[in-house]
């Protein structure tokens, strides 16, 4: 019993626990600070930059996962600033850059610092994705309820190959981002038919994965 307690309270384990708590507190604090940001505020800033707006948007998207800025606000702001179509194109480009950053950072850090139980789960996920990499990554990305950054960091930690990861991300998130940007581009005119079409598509994107999951569970 003494040996078990001693191994549980080693310096390494204590540092891991403290680090995890500090990271969690940092994320919660950042999320609270970001609550004042709206798509309209970001749109105003992007437009004020003129022709450099898209480049600054993409540059921010590159570092966004490191500061845990909400990605949904970025989608809506992209639609407001650049319109439905180009907002979607730029939004998808930004999301891919964010995914690349999170994957790269997590992959470099590795999973050695995590508890063995977590490592085994992450490796199991990696093996599942590697088995049918592209299809599984598309399915994971298509589910809007799962955090975008959580998937990205998990994929990097587990060493998911870059090609199926990025391609699966592109295919999986494209419909949702275009729906968001079209909603964003028409958010000031809710009477427009395009707003309701985009909103309807967005609702379907949220509902369909849940229905598919229930159907597969019954089978």
d(CA 152, CA 207): 22
Mean pLDDT, 10 residues at a time, the chain of 219 residues: 44 56 56 73 90 94 90 89 92 96 87 66 65 78 83 84 91 89 75 74 74 62
d(CA 138, CA 170): 8
Q: What is the pLDDT of residues 184-213, one digit of tens each?
A: 777 666 667 777 777 787 787 777 766 665
Q: What is the pLDDT of residues 74-92, one digit of tens each?
A: 988 998 899 889 999 999 9
Cβ atoms of 79 and 91 closer than 8 Å:
yes
In this predicted structure, what is the pLDDT of residue 22? 57
Cβ atoms of 158 and 120 closer than 8 Å:
no
Report the length, in residues, of the chain.
219
Cβ atoms of 168 and 141 closer than 8 Å:
yes
Task: For residue 71, count other CB atoms closer than 10 A to its CB.
Answer: 22
Residue written as token pair 């399915």:
139
**Measured distance between the N- and C-terminal CA atoms of the chain, rounded to whole angstroms:** 46
Q: Residue 180 contacts by C-beta under 8 Å, 6 or more apart in sequence? A: 72, 75, 76, 78, 79, 91, 202
């Amino acid at each position: 019993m003494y040996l078990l307690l001693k191994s549980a309270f080693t310096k390494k384990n204590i540092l891991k626990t403290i680090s995890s708590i500090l990271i969690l507190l940092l994320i919660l604090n950042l999320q609270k600070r970001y609550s004042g940001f709206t798509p309209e505020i970001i749109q105003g800033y992007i437009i004020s930059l003129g022709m450099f707006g898209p480049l600054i948007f993409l540059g921010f998207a590159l570092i966004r996962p490191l500061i845990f800025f909400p990605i949904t606000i970025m989608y809506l702001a992209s639609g407001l600033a650049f319109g439905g179509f180009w907002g979607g194109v730029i939004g998808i480009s930004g999301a891919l850059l964010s995914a690349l950053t999170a994957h790269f950072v997590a992959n470099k850090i590795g999973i050695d610092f995590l508890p063995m139980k977590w490592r085994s789960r992450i490796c199991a996920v990696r093996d599942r994705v590697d088995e049918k990499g592209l299809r599984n990554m598309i399915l994971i990305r298509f589910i809007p309820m799962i955090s975008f950054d959580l998937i990205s960091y998990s994929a990097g930690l587990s060493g998911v190959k870059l090609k199926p990861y990025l391609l699966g991300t592109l295919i999986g998130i494209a419909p949702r981002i275009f729906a968001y940007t079209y909603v964003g581009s028409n958010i000031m005119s809710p009477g427009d038919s395009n707003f309701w079409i985009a909103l309807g598509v967005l609702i379907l994107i949220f509902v369909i994965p849940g229905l598919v999951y229930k159907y597969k569970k019954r089978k």
